[in-house]
C-alpha cells in the first residue's frame, strides 16, 4: 500500500489546485482521476465553452464588418471546425495540467476512487484491478454533473446536457434551451449567433435569476434583439421525442404552447457527484446532495475533507480552487481566514457578458440599508462606442451611511475581466469616495466603474 500525506479525489479546478498547493507546502501528494485531468471545467465546461463563444463572436464581427468600414464577403461558418477547435483548446489545457502534476511531483492515479474507513482510498483501474492507498488527509473534490428533471430525461441525442452541446455531430436548425443560468445563456448565445433558431425557457420571472433585476432585464432585451425567443415564468411539462425532432410542451402565463425543435438542451443546474464514492463506508455526513463541512472544509470524520461543488458553497471553479488552497494550508498548519462567501464574483460569458459581486439592489433593500445607487451606460463610453459595443451598463450600490461598497453589477463587453476591481475594493473595505478619487485610464471600458460611482454620489461628468 502506498502512503501519502494528502490524496485528492478528483482533478477538476478544485482538485488539481489543491494537489499543487499541497505539494508546494511539502506534503507528499497524489490525485485520483477516472477521466481527463482538469475535470469538467477544463474538458467540458469553462474552457471549451469560451472557445465556442469566441468563434461565434469572430463570426459576428465578420458578418458586421461593414459597420467598421471593412468588406468581408461570403462569410460562412464550419460547425465541425468550430467544435474541433474547442476540443483542441480543452485537450491543450488538460495536457497543461499533466505537466503541472509532473512539475510538482504529484502522483497521478488513474481510475475510479472509493473512500474507505481508516483514511484509505481503493482505486479501480480500467482493467478492473483494485489498489488501495492511504493518506493522513483525503480531500474529496468530485464535482458535479448536469441535473436531470423528471419531465426532461436526457437521452444524449435529442435531449442533451452541456457535454453533448459542446460536441454535437451537426448544427441543429432549432434548439430549445431549458434554464437561463450561465450554462443556458452561454449556449443560447453561441447557437443563435451561428444561425440556429433558439428559444430559452425559464421557470422564474427573469433570465439569469441570481443577478440584479436591471441586469436580467437588459440581457433579455439584448437576447431578443439578437433574435432569441425568451419565455420567462414558463415551464416545460413534457417532451415528445417520437418523431424526427422534439415536441416541447411549455406551460406559459398564456396557456400551453408546443415548440418544435431538433434538440433540447437541459441547463437546469447541477447534481453533485457524491454517490458511489464511499461516503457511507466512512460515515461522512451529507445534507440535500452536499457534503457537510466546517470553515476549513473538514467533514465530520477526522482526516476527510471536501471542497468545490460537492459542498454547500457556490458551484464555481474559482470558488473550488480557493477552497482547496485554504483547506491544505490549514492542514499544513498555516494561519488561514475563512472565505468570505459574500464577496464571490459571478460571471456569465454570453454576449453581452454579465459579471457581478455582492448584494443586488433588492437584497440590499431587504437588509435595511439606506442606498446610494449609480449607473453608467456603455452608450456614453467613448471606448465602448469606438469598439462597437455600446450595449449594457455598470451599476454600483453603496451604503449611504458609511460608504461601504455593497454590490457591483455589470453587463457589456469585457465586463468579466472588469469585475475584479470591485472584488478587490470590497476585500479592502474601500469606500465609494476612494474609488471616485482613484484615477481610471481613458478611454477604457473600466472607467465606467468610476463613472457609475460618480453617478451614485451626484458627481458624474459624462452623463
The verdict on whether residue 242 carries a ligand-binding annotation is no
Is residue 343 situated within a structural domain? no
Answer whether 164's CB lies under 8 Å from 175's CB.
no
Same domain, 28 and 121: yes
CA dihedral 94, 91, 277, 23 (to 10 degrees): -10
The stretches in the chain having pLDDT less than 70 are 1
The verdict on whether residue 292 carries a ligand-binding annotation is no
Residue from 124, 172, 141 nearest 14 by CA: 141
The verdict on whether residue 186 carries a ligand-binding annotation is yes
The verdict on whether residue 50 carries a ligand-binding annotation is yes
Q: Is 132 helix (H, G, I), strand (E, B) or coil?
A: strand
The verdict on whether residue 180 carries a ligand-binding annotation is yes
Answer whether 415's CB lies under 8 Å from 353's CB.
yes
Answer whether 18's CB lies under 8 Å from 8's CB.
yes
**Pairing verdict, β 197-201 and 174-178:** parallel
Span 201-253, pLDDT tens digits: 999 999 999 999 999 999 999 999 999 999 999 999 999 999 899 999 999 98
The verdict on whether residue 461 carries a ligand-binding annotation is no
Same domain, 174 and 257: yes
Is residue 461 situated within a structural domain? no
The verdict on whether residue 289 carries a ligand-binding annotation is no
**CA–CA dist 358, 397 (Å, integer):** 9
The full 3-state SS of 390-426, as one line of letters, equals CCCEEEEEEECCCCEEEEEEEEECCHHHHCHHHHHHH
No. of helices (H) and no. of strands (E), the chain: 15, 24
Same domain, 124 and 19: yes
Same domain, 243 and 127: no
Residue from 404, 394, 388 nearest 460 by CA: 394
The interaxial angle of helices 79-103 and 15-24, nearest 10 deg, is 20
Last residue of a domain, one of 235, 268, 301: 268
Same domain, 139 and 8: yes
Is residue 211 situated within a structural domain? yes
**CA–CA dist 31, 34 (Å, integer):** 10
Specify the pLDDT at position 277. Answer: 96
Phi first, then psi: what are they for 380, rounded to 5°?
-100, 5
- b/e code 59-96 from CB counts within 10 Å (16+ = b): beeeeeeeeeeeeeeeeebebeebbebbbebbeebbee
CATH number assigned to the domain comprising residue 445: 3.30.390.30
Same domain, 87 and 14: yes
CA distances, 295 to each of 12, 141, 327 (Å): 21, 16, 9
Same domain, 88 and 76: yes
Is residue 339 situated within a structural domain? no
Is residue 28 situated within a structural domain? yes
Pick the catalytic residue: 64, 318, 433, 442?
A: 442
Last residue of a domain, one of 282, 300, 331: 331
Strand order in the sheet with 159-160: 159-160, 263-266, 174-178, 197-201, 229-231
**CA–CA dist 451, 432 (Å, integer):** 11
The verdict on whether residue 113 carries a ligand-binding annotation is yes
CA distances, 141 to each of 26, 131, 305, 306 (Å): 20, 20, 9, 6
Last residue of a domain, one of 245, 268, 291: 268
Residues 6+ apart with CB under 8 A from 60: 193, 351
Specify the pLDDT at position 1. Answer: 58
The parent domain of residue 37 ranges over: 2-145+271-331
**How many Cα atoms are found within 13 Å in the side-chain-facing hemisphere of 211?**
27
CA 434 to chain centre: 30
Among this protein's residues, is 442 annotated catalytic? yes
CATH number assigned to the domain comprising residue 292: 3.50.50.60
Is residue 42 situated within a structural domain? yes
Same domain, 136 and 38: yes
Residue from 57, 137, 176, 48 nearest 324 by CA: 137
C-alpha cell of residue 86: 474547442
Same domain, 111 and 12: yes
The verdict on whether residue 109 carries a ligand-binding annotation is no
Domain count, the chain: 3
Same domain, 10 and 92: yes
C-alpha cell of residue 448: 465606467
The verdict on whether residue 183 carries a ligand-binding annotation is yes
Long-range contacts at 162-168 (CB < 8 A, ≥ 24 apart): 162/44, 162/45, 162/49, 162/187, 162/265, 162/267, 163/44, 165/265, 166/44, 166/48, 166/49, 166/52, 166/83, 166/86, 166/87, 167/83, 167/87, 168/83, 168/263
Same domain, 418 and 432: yes
Is residue 462 situated within a structural domain? no
Answer whether 322's CB lies under 8 Å from 378's CB.
no
Same domain, 358 and 440: yes
Phi first, then psi: what are they for 137, rounded to 5°?
-140, 130
Answer whether 407's CB lies under 8 Å from 374's CB.
no
Specify the pLDDT at position 36. Answer: 84
Q: Is the pTM of this model over 0.75?
A: yes
Is residue 345 situated within a structural domain? no
The verdict on whether residue 65 carries a ligand-binding annotation is no
Amino acid at each position: 500500500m502506498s502512503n501519502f500525506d494528502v490524496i485528492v479525489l478528483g482533478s477538476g479546478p478544485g482538485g488539481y489546485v489543491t494537489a499543487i498547493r499541497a505539494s508546494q507546502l511539502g506534503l507528499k501528494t497524489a490525485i485520483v482521476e477516472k477521466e481527463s485531468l482538469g475535470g469538467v471545467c477544463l474538458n467540458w465546461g469553462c474552457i471549451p465553452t469560451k472557445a465556442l463563444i469566441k468563434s461565434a463572436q469572430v463570426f459576428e464581427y465578420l458578418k458586421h464588418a461593414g459597420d467598421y468600414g471593412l468588406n468581408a464577403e461570403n462569410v460562412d461558418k464550419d460547425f465541425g471546425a468550430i467544435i474541433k477547435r474547442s476540443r483542441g483548446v480543452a485537450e491543450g489545457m488538460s495536457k497543461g495540467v499533466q505537466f503541472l502534476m509532473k512539475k510538482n511531483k504529484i502522483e497521478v492515479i488513474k481510475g475510479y476512487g472509493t473512500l474507505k474507513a481508516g483514511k484509505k482510498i481503493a482505486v479501480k483501474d480500467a482493467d478492473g484491478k483494485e489498489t488501495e492507498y492511504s493518506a493522513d488527509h483525503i480531500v474529496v473534490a468530485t464535482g458535479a454533473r448536469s441535473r436531470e428533471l423528471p419531465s426532461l430525461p436526457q437521452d444524449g441525442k435529442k435531449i442533451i446536457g452541456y457535454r453533448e452541446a459542446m460536441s454535437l455531430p451537426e448544427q441543429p436548425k432549432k434548439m430549445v434551451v431549458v434554464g437561463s443560468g450561465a450554462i443556458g445563456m452561454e449556449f443560447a448565445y453561441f447557437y443563435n449567433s451561428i444561425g440556429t433558431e433558439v428559444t430559452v425557457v425559464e421557470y422564474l420571472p427573469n433570465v439569469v435569476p441570481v443577478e440584479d433585476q436591471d441586469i436580467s432585464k437588459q440581457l433579455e432585451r439584448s437576447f431578443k434583439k439578437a433574435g432569441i425567443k425568451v419565455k420567462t415564468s414558463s415551464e416545460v411539462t413534457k417532451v415528445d421525442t417520437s418523431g424526427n425532432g422534439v415536441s416541447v410542451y411549455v406551460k406559459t402565463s398564456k396557456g400551453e404552447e408546443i415548440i418544435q425543435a431538433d434538440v433540447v438542451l437541459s441547463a437546469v443546474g447541477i447534481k453533485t457527484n457524491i454517490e458511489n464514492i464511499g461516503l457511507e463506508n466512512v460515515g461522512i455526513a451529507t445534507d440535500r446532495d452536499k457534503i457537510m463541512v466546517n470553515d476549513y472544509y473538514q467533514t465530520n470524520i477526522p482526516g476527510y475533507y471536501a471542497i468545490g461543488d460537492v459542498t454547500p458553497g457556490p458551484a464555481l471553479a474559482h470558488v473550488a480552487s480557493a477552497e482547496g488552497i485554504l483547506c491544505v494550508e490549514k492542514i499544513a498548519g498555516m494561519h488561514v481566514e475563512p472565505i468570505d462567501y459574500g464577496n464571490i464574483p459571478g460571471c456569465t460569458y454570453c454576449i453581452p457578458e454579465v459579471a457581478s459581486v455582492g448584494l443586488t439592489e433588492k437584497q440590499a433593500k431587504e437588509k435595511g440599508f439606506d442606498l446610494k445607487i449609480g449607473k453608467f451606460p456603455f452608450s456614453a463610453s467613448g471606448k465602448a462606442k469606438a469598439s462597437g459595443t455600446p450595449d449594457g451598463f455598470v451599476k454600483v450600490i453603496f451604503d449611504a451611511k458609511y460608504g461601504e461598497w455593497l454590490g457591483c453589477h455589470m453587463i457589456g463587453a469585457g465586463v468579466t475581466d472588469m469585475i475584479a476591481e470591485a472584488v478587490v475594493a470590497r476585500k479592502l473595505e474601500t469606500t465609494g469616495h476612494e474609488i471616485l478619487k482613484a484615477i481610471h485610464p481613458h478611454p477604457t471600458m473600466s472607467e465606467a466603474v468610476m463613472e457609475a460611482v460618480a453617478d451614485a454620489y451626484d458627481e458624474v461628468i459624462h452623463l
